[in-house]
């Protein structure tokens, strides 16, 4: 399956740590509970709902309620503090 730019960007950022990355879209819900899992959403509302859901019920086996939303569309141009520095330049950066 062809990856979208958001899936590629999420992969660049988190594939080293994440056990899986699902979905598609600029809004990423990260669950740092034991292992990192990432879901991607098209809208902030969907991401907020997804986070509220795992905040309420837990994201999995060892949930410690360590969840966050990352808006990749906002930080595309910003330098990431160390997050993907080593992998920068592997894929062509798309500007929108
Ligand atoms: Zn959790």
More confident residue, 2 or 49: 49
Q: Is 89 contained in some domain?
A: no
pLDDT given at position 6: 97
Is the confidence at residue 85, as pLDDT, over 80? no
Is the confidence at residue 77, as pLDDT, over 80? no
Q: How many domains does the chain have?
A: 1
pLDDT given at position 91: 53
Q: Is 26 contained in some domain?
A: yes
How many Å apart are CA 96 and CA 5, to the nearest integer?
11
**In the predicted model, what is the mean pLDDT of the chain?**
85
How many Å apart are CA 63 and CA 45, to the nearest integer?
22
Average pLDDT over residues 72-94: 56
Tokens of 40: 């991607």
pLDDT band at 14 (very low <50, low <70, confident <90, very high): very high
Q: Is 33 contained in some domain?
A: yes
Q: Is 95 contained in some domain?
A: no
Phi first, then psi, for residue 89 (nearest 5°) are: 90, 0
Q: Is 12 contained in some domain?
A: yes
Q: How far is the CA of 48 from the centre of ligand 1 (A)?
A: 14
Q: Is 17 contained in some domain?
A: yes
Q: How far is the CA of 36 from the centre of ligand 1 (A)?
A: 9
Q: How far is the CA of 3 from the centre of ligand 1 (A)?
A: 26
Is the confidence at residue 86, as pLDDT, over 50? no
Q: Is 14 contained in some domain?
A: yes
| Residue 57 domain boundaries | 5-75
Q: Is 94 contained in some domain?
A: no
Is the confidence at residue 66, as pLDDT, over 80? yes
Q: How far is the CA of 94 from the centre of ligand 1 (A)?
A: 31
């Amino acid at each position: 399956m062809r990856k979208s730019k958001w899936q590629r960007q999420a992969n660049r950022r988190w594939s080293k740590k994440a056990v899986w990355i699902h979905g598609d879209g600029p809004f990423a819900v990260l669950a740092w509970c034991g292992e990192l899992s990432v879901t991607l959403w098209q809208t902030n509302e969907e991401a907020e709902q997804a986070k509220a859901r795992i905040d309420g019920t837990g994201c999995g086996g060892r949930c410690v309620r360590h969840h966050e939303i990352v808006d990749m569309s906002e930080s595309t141009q910003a330098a990431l503090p160390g997050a993907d520095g080593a992998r920068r330049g592997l894929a062509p950066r798309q500007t929108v």
